[in-house]
Structure 1
Amino acid sequence: MRAASSESFSRSVYDAVIVGGGHNGLVAAAYLARAGRSVLVLERLGNTGGAAVSTRPFAGVDARLSRYSYLVSLLPGSIVRDLGLSFSVRKRTVSSYTPVVRDGRATGLLVGGDRTRESFAALTGSDREFTAWEAFYDRTRQVAERVFPTLTEPLPTRQDLRERVADETAWRMLFEEPIGAAIEESFADDLVRGVVLTDGLIGTFADAHDPSLVQNRCFLYHVIGGGTGDWDVPVGGMGALTDALAEAARSAGAEIVTGHEAIRIETDGTAAEVAFRTDDGEGTVAARNVLVNASPQALSALLGEPAPPPAEGAQLKVNMLLRRLPRLRDRSVDPRQAFSGTFHISEGYGQLAAAYAQAAAGRLPEAPPSEIYCHSLTDPSILGPELAAQGYQTLTLFGLHTPARLFTEAPDATRDALLKATLAELDAHLDEPISDCLALDEAGRPCIEAKTPLDLEHDLRLPGGHIFHRDLAFPWAEASTGRWGVETAHANVLLCGAGAVRGGGVSGIPGHNAAMAALGR
């Protein structure tokens, strides 16, 4: 094989070589370059951004969708300010809408705006659940205010974090007991319980009472973002963030090369060499530090070390473009309200438990739970002017409780069956089939695409399609985590991807923390 050319690199030894140009790698590159370090980013694909990209998935249609990740909560404002990013988010006017049929009547729960109390009362017949909702989320907001700032600091100990939370009831319900216990203690209504539980299941295959508390860890990261727990819409789509990060890194002096796949890391703890592959062959580059913005499995493979336990994703991601929003069976709610927040489908507490049990037994859920939101209602800039003028809208659907193991034997057929069943659950709450509202691409095909965990593993090399690379960890120091939660067994090799402690989601936090660890050396 011919040797790949390294002539385009500005130097033979870099202070830091970053493997992977996803958003965390770009954050690390920008911080290190701004600190005066020489930085080279090696990206396997032909573009940067990783899972946080905007693309035009439908041929001939001028709509740029956030193809994989889609909302922003965990990105600290300090990272945006530190790096001078030209990037902003918008608040959603509605938090969520959950349709349901009660006593033969189409109704639902609308959370957000000035109708929340009224909606709770209409659904449950009293103020009890609304009062419980306010108390529950007032408690999680206080936890968020105290925990979120620690995510960009050296890891606290478990006891330090407990003292910082300073609320034993909150500590028990979030950190010590399965979240299902607190939900059942706080709420009586099955639908309300389900809406609360969903934050513990996004990208996580677990029951409400799983003794491992993996659902609690997922829940925690979903309610502490920004110190408020709000999930905001990235203006211009998720690609606007990663484009801004790439520009910030380059402007600070970092070099970014695409089409360069890292294939091996050799290190003695002080100096390292990264081997890479391009279309022209293979080459190497030397570095004082290597930051790996990839999964722990990929890191082990690069180092030639035993792999960690396998990871497994459990979600269905569906992108749609509509000619118009569908009409709802619940006529008391405007579709523009219902779809601007998170639209929960088949996510009652009992429905979630049933779906988990069926999937755990190796079957697709009979009523697949999922949630939808419409980016273009809050930020129409992702649509071309003509589409926006004609009232086109985007829908992003995220399905739960569909682990990768369900797709191994007949991936395409299983994906099609799951998509059909998922859309049928949505149609049950619509006054018209969603298929009647889908736009068509230039070849006359419906504008809809579905991605299973196996698709994400193939497209993005997410192990088992796990969107967090592996199960999330509580944000405190353990014996093996190191000072920042990014350290490895090699002093000059750091993990800066979602699989780091305090990783997961579009946050930039592992990238920031790995840069701080490297600068501290």
Structure 2
Amino acid sequence: MTKAYDIIIAGGGHNGLVCAAYLAKAGKKVLVLEKNDIVGGAAITKEVFPGKSVSLCAQFLHQFNTRIADDLKLSEFGLEFIDTDCRTSLLSNDGRHLTVSFDGQVEGDVAEDEVKAFQILITRLQEFSETLGFLADIPPIDIFDPDMQDKLSALKLGWKLRFGLGAEKMSDFLRIVGMNIYDLINEELEDDRLKALLSVDSVLGTHAGPRSPGTILTYLYRQIGGGKGRTLVPKGGMGAVSKAIAASAQAKGADILTGMHVREVLIDNCRVVGLRTSCGTVYNAPIVVSNADPKTTVFDMVGSRHFEADFVHRINTIRMRGNSCKLHLSLNSIPEFSGLGSEALAGRVVIADSADYVENSFNPAKYNEWSSSPVIEFSIPTLNDPHLAENGHVLSATIQYAPYSLKGGWTDEAKEAFKNICIDTLSRFAPSLKDSIEQSLLLTPVDLENEIGMQGGNWHHGEFTLDQMLMMRPVPLASRYALPLDGLFLCGAGAHPGGGVMGSAGRNAANAILRGDKS
């Protein structure tokens, strides 16, 4: 059985859905094939306990591209937000908790001068992030053979740095952009809790600690998006975002099929001609767009024999070390976290009371060991979104650090031991938590790889470091979405600008296809 399309997208993650929506909007006949039963990739809402659903992987919207939301009219397709300024509470071992909003307003026992210093610092960093932000909405500048658009983009960046920021701020930007966050926060702040918060926001989802080079850049990247540093919470969990994008794409004419695993991309005379699913169905198209990571695309879907040896080597050496687990708890009641009310628990809560705590938590991961004092980001989303649970509540947490290549492997015994460490860490601040737990689910980086398809359990489809970003993401010969095989493109987090539920990689890939770009 053979079916023909203009473009086929392999993978229905949010970037693949965004790509499909833009291509269908342009009049292309588009098919999306997703191996799982629901679309969304890492941005899904799933029932994991009877009558209780959770945002399985991604939990908050930090970088959502509001331009995409407007272009695709996502509000008309059901996307609503419960909170458009989700505040972050930080739990301190000494009980001196604090709560921070996106603009630096602080509630807690913090000196007035320190609050002002904190506000000045995050305002400064947000300005730098906004200066770089336009780069997320365009292909990386081709420094080898630049066309007129590349030259204009380079001029725009230079103009924003020199005249948008001004000479003094530009000098400051160039001084700090390659630094680690640890050095900067120790220059500017005294309060360990505020330092901890910025440290966590610089390293969550990475293989890095606050002292690692480039962690200021990862912080700036996290702030990119129309929210300008705000954290958004969608009604219905993260799956609501993907459902709205899928509905928009379908309304524009795109076909979306779930439960369809792509076995191979079909090649004839050095160009793409379609793909075959694991059930044997062949779909013909002159263009195939992969929402998978670069390694899966090149080695599993296409085959390395179709590429030059140097390109294969570069793809093979992309670093993809996942370091985060997801913990979901089914609760029969709300545990009491000392000093925190329900509003704070429904928002974003972080456990890490100093930058050194975060760094020490990272150290074991260098040797493929888990942290016995993990960094935890959690929420009880059912407090604000009761439709997620028919009864009771759920607690969802991101746990760092838990390396993909754990010494001895992620056996059942290892998973149970680490889950207990995480629950014990939470229980330090909520002694009644264990009595409230009905069921629990820990998803290790290996589980995330198997469940969602993130190789190495890495959120970004490739570590987000200085040597794996912009025109070097995923590798120089594939940095503008087209791979060196006629008709093959990337649109996922492994392409520029990277991971996070942003959608920019999908939009940029669609634009590259419509322009007729080639590697």
TM-score bracket for the superposition, by shorter chain length: 0.7 to 0.9
* Closer, same or farther: CA 225–484 of 1 in aligned 2, 3 Å: same
Cα offset, 1:407, TM superposition: 5.8
Q: Is the 8 A contact 2:102 2:231 kept in 1?
A: no
Helix, strand or coil for the counterpart of 2:64? coil
Taking every aligned residue pair, what percent have the same amino acid on both sides?
A: 26
Give, in whole Å, the separation in 2 of the partners of 1:400 and 1:487.
Answer: 34
Q: Of the candidates 127, 139, 150, which is equivalent to residue 142 of structure 1?
A: 127
Note if 1:394 corresponds to 2:394: yes
Partner of 1:36: 27
Note if 1:311 corresponds to 2:315: no
* Closer, same or farther: CA 114–364 of 1 in aligned 2, 3 Å: closer
Give, in whole Å, the separation in 2 of the partners of 1:17 and 1:174.
Answer: 42
Partner of 2:100: 111
**Alignment of structure 1 residues 70-469 onto 2, 5 Å:** 70-85=59-74, 86=77, 87-91=79-83, 95-102=87-94, 106-112=95-101, 116-117=105-106, 119=108, 122-123=109-110, 126-156=111-141, 160-161=156-157, 163-165=159-161, 166=165, 167-168=169-170, 171-172=173-174, 175-211=177-213, 213=214, 215-267=215-267, 271-278=271-278, 281-301=279-299, 302-305=301-304, 306=312, 307-309=315-317, 310-330=319-339, 333-334=340-341, 336-384=342-390, 387=391, 392-406=392-406, 408-430=408-430, 432-438=431-437, 446-469=438-461
Please tell me the residue identity of whatever aligns with 1:318: L
Partner of 2:495: 500
Helix, strand or coil for the counterpart of 1:226? coil
Give, in whole Å, the separation in 2 of the partners of 1:187 and 1:469.
Answer: 33
Please tell me the residue identity of whatever aligns with 2:456: G
Please tell me the residue identity of whatever aligns with 1:404: Y
Count of aligned pairs = 482
Cα offset, 1:38, TM superposition: 1.1
Cα offset, 1:198, TM superposition: 0.5
Q: Of the candidates 481, 486, 492, which is equivalent to residue 481 of structure 2?
A: 486
Cα offset, 1:374, TM superposition: 2.5
Give, in whole Å, the separation in 2 of the partners of 1:518 and 1:20.
Answer: 17
Partner of 2:309: none
Give, in whole Å, the separation in 2 of the partners of 1:113 and 1:271.
Answer: 48
Give, in whole Å, the separation in 1 of the partners of 2:411 and 2:497.
Answer: 32
Please tell me the residue identity of whatever aligns with 1:108: H
Give, in whole Å, the separation in 1 of the partners of 2:34 and 2:86.
Answer: 38
Q: Tell me the TM-score normalised to structure 2 length.
A: 0.86
Give, in whole Å, the separation in 2 of the partners of 1:320 and 1:410.
Answer: 20
Q: Is the 8 A contact 1:269 1:493 kept in 2?
A: no
Partner of 2:147: none
Q: Is the 8 A contact 1:316 1:452 kept in 2?
A: yes
Give, in whole Å, the separation in 2 of the partners of 1:172 and 1:378.
Answer: 42
Q: Tell me the TM-score normalised to structure 1 length.
A: 0.85
Cα offset, 1:159, TM superposition: 7.4
Note if 1:65 corresponds to 2:67: no
* Closer, same or farther: CA 275–487 of 1 in aligned 2, 3 Å: closer
Helix, strand or coil for the counterpart of 2:22? helix
Cα offset, 1:133, TM superposition: 0.9
Helix, strand or coil for the counterpart of 1:56? strand
Cα offset, 1:149, TM superposition: 3.6
* Closer, same or farther: CA 24–222 of 1 in aligned 2, 3 Å: same
Helix, strand or coil for the counterpart of 1:338? helix
Cα offset, 1:136, TM superposition: 0.9
Q: Is the 8 A contact 1:485 1:502 kept in 2?
A: no
Q: Is the 8 A contact 1:97 1:109 kept in 2?
A: yes
Q: Give unpaired runs (5+ residues) of structure 1.
A: 439-445
Q: Please say which of residues 148-157 and 307-316 is displaced more in the overlay.
A: 148-157
Q: Give unpaired runs (5+ residues) of structure 2.
A: 142-152, 305-311
Give, in whole Å, the separation in 1 of the partners of 2:472 and 2:291.
Answer: 21
Give, in whole Å, the separation in 1 of the partners of 2:85 and 2:384.
Answer: 8
Give, in whole Å, the separation in 2 of the partners of 1:139 and 1:190.
Answer: 20
Please tell me the residue identity of whatever aligns with 1:288: P
Helix, strand or coil for the counterpart of 1:57? strand
* Closer, same or farther: CA 158–342 of 1 in aligned 2, 3 Å: farther
Helix, strand or coil for the counterpart of 1:326? coil
Helix, strand or coil for the counterpart of 2:350? strand
